[in-house]
Amino acid sequence: MDTARSSSRPPRDPSRHAAPQVFDYLRERIIALELPPGTLISRAELQELFGFSSTPVRDALLRLQEEGLVDIFPQHATMVSPIDLKLARQAQFLRRSLEQEAVRTIALAADRGEVVARLETGIEVQATLLARGDLPGFEAADREFHRVFFEIAAVPGLYVLVRRYSGHIDRIRRLHLPMPGKAAQVIADHRAIAAALKAGDAARAQAALREHLSKSLAFTPDLRARWPHYFRD
């Protein structure tokens, strides 16, 4: 895939440093599988696309390498990495551990009603997006549903941490999402979590969340059978 010609020129934000703009642009496209595993990334094309010098492009690619999303072969090529199952399992463990504690905090809060109403509104937004067939919008609403847990539990920095380590499992989820019934199951899971929170039942909320966050890795063997070259152990 041609990095520069596969998309229109991304907008430049003069208020932001150059490297984070390149990083965000590439990371989003890698996780959305617009740049699937094995895609060659041209530094020269990125420089032309953004109008930046080589330094911010290099720095962005190094950050992606730190997250395991690209493999850099010095003096040869930069390539989107395969989905690393070990890193995906670690990300799942981290996210499940932190979110279970966050929903427990919410379930035990006296003022949880406002939070539950917010979550329920988000679920209806997801249902509307699914009915429209807008999977990218659905996925963004899904992320927002989970981000609220960290916000309300007063640990927003931990959401940033989770996102940083979630690149590999997010790609698994993106592969899984278009499968028949998957998006509808996400909505059903979210409703179960919200119902448990509304009832103030911390144990049930944690159990519903744990089951919800365990499903994508459970389906990985099926996904790997379809796209074997996308994965590595």
> Which superfamily does 84-232 belong to?
GntR ligand-binding domain-like (1.20.120.530)
pLDDT 10s digits, 79-129:
999 999 999 999 999 999 999 999 999 999 999 999 999 999 999 999 999
Quick check: 2 pLDDT over 90? no
Proportion of the chain above pLDDT 90, given as a percent: 86
Q: CA 69 to CA 84: how far, in whole Å?
A: 9
Lowest-pLDDT range, 44-58, 97-111, 128-142?
Answer: 44-58
Q: Check if CATH label 3.40.50.300 holds for domain 18-81.
A: no
Domain regions of the chain by residue span: 18-81, 84-232
State the average pLDDT over residues 197-226: 95
